[in-house]
Copies of this chain bind each other. A is one copy, B any other.
């Protein structure tokens, strides 16, 4: 049983058009689309009030900022808000984002039903995902699992990425303890930070912090 009412939140007009086309191909007539998260949330609320809630939300993750100031600024926040309002709402994420950590959170914390990466054959995948979710299944493509494995050379904890992000932001090592204290992150001792960095470099066979930063940028860890 295919969906009846679908909402598309996607800021790239060109992508939005394609998604709508895919939806139409599946004979779904009651779809709606928006370019801003706040609009999406408003539509969801209104649909509930009028007794015709959406069955499915298809949303991007990153929305570009513009003059139009928004309360909800990205897809993750939109999903959270939407689920609070309508827990049974199915959610399909359609994004160019490839970072496994991000997607992991979406699955575990927000309970999304599917994920399609913007890439070659994404339109076909979108269709497959819609069909799968309509049948009550989840849809997470194989290539994603591959990505998760490939990136597993070392598990960067949020502690690691915090430190690395500070370094990349120009903060000197010996000043990192202050920053961590401000955020109530422990351990905050300089030695602990040194040790942690040393461990990471050793495991990854890096000789310098510069190399580490380059790696993290390449793999979108920060």
Binding site for B on A (CB under 8 A): 11-15, 17-19, 21-22, 35, 64, 66, 96, 118-124, 126, 167-172, 206-211, 213-214, 217-218, 222
Contacts and interface: CB of A to CB of B under 8 A. Distances in A.
Contact of A19 (B11, B14, B122): B14
A210 B170 contact: yes
A167 B14 contact: no
Contacts of A124: 13
B211 A214 contact: no
B210 A17 contact: no
A119 B118 CA distance: 14
B19 A206 contact: no
A12 B19 CA distance: 12
A121 B36 CA distance: 12
A172 B208 contact: yes
Contacts of A171: 207-208
A120 B34 CA distance: 10
A5 to B, nearest CB: 21
A178 to B, nearest CB: 15
A22 to B, nearest CB: 8
A64 B217 contact: no
B211 A168 contact: yes
A17 B123 CA distance: 9
A80 to B, nearest CB: 23
B211 A169 contact: yes
A170 B208 contact: yes
A207 B172 contact: yes
A14 B64 contact: no
28 contacts: A12-B15, A12-B118, A12-B120, A13-B124, A14-B22, A14-B122, A15-B15, A15-B18, A17-B17, A17-B18, A17-B123, A18-B18, A21-B21, A64-B120, A66-B120, A167-B208, A167-B210, A167-B211, A169-B211, A169-B214, A170-B206, A170-B208, A171-B207, A171-B208, A209-B209, A209-B210, A213-B213, A213-B217
